[in-house]
Structure 1
């Protein structure tokens, strides 16, 4: 069973945990997460670094892919991602909701929306495609 506690534990010693990403909900083909804004996640211009925003969205989509791997699959790898940045944050918490668009045997496609948790303002729109891996 893949739930938020399991994903938070798995990410603790890796980039998601290092950045402070907290998975708050895993429900079928949807994953929710939060990331508190702090100086280490900012670009030198004082605004949220695009890489921090993309990592939040990519983590949600990746965990969603893991939770929805077809029978016999051993894992996945991201083969394409795209983000449109529509706003930024300087304080508070940003949140992400990733939803499956396509759950196939060889590929999955996930869309994610990153918002500022307090204002609801959209920070970024994100789409990624994962290749499902089989084998040893």
Structure 2
């Protein structure tokens, strides 16, 4: 499966989920990263008209969790996020933000990701660290 097919599959899997609600779309993939984008508009604003930190955290967790799927046997294992820490650096009122998850640690039972969120002008919006646990599917 080539990268465009992988991205299509990830986006298809997002139907009827929070990712679809927030209009998150996976847009780029490489050997050690996954990038998704999310529009910034009133749907993801807090009451003061700025990007809600919770929406940013949902974007970070979505891309960090999805990225771990490349390192597991999807027929017998699945991923759960167990820790997310995020620092918000700059506010954003409109446009698009891009979250890129890069692997820091790929263990047998845990994965650690750094997720950097930037806007369309490469301004740093937020930085997150996410830990995932690899679990076996119970039959």
Settle same-fold status: TM greater than 0.5.
yes
1:126 aligns with 2:128: yes
In structure 1, the partner of 2:34 is 31
Q: TM-score, structure 2 length as denominator? A: 0.91
In structure 2, the partner of 1:105 is 108
Contact between 2:39 and 2:97, CA under 8 Å: does it hold in 1?
yes
Q: Secondary structure at the match of 1:13?
A: coil
Go from structure 1 to structure 2 and tell me whether the alpha carbon gap of 1:13 and 1:96 turns closer, same or farther (over 3 Å shift): same
Task: Report the Cα distance in structure 2 between the residues aligned to 1:70 and 1:128, rounded to whole angstroms.
Answer: 20
1:88 aligns with 2:110: no
> Per-residue deviation at 1:72?
7.1
Query: Please, which runs of 5 or more residues in structure 1 have no aligned partner?
Result: none
Aligned 1:8-87 pairs, distance under 5 A:
8-69=11-72, 73-87=76-90
| RMSD of aligned alpha carbons | 1.6
Q: Which runs of 4+ in 1 moved over 3 A?
A: 70-73
Q: TM-score, structure 1 length as denominator? A: 0.92
> Per-residue deviation at 1:28?
2.5
Task: Report the Cα distance in structure 1 between the residues aligned to 2:98 and 2:13, rounded to whole angstroms.
Answer: 19
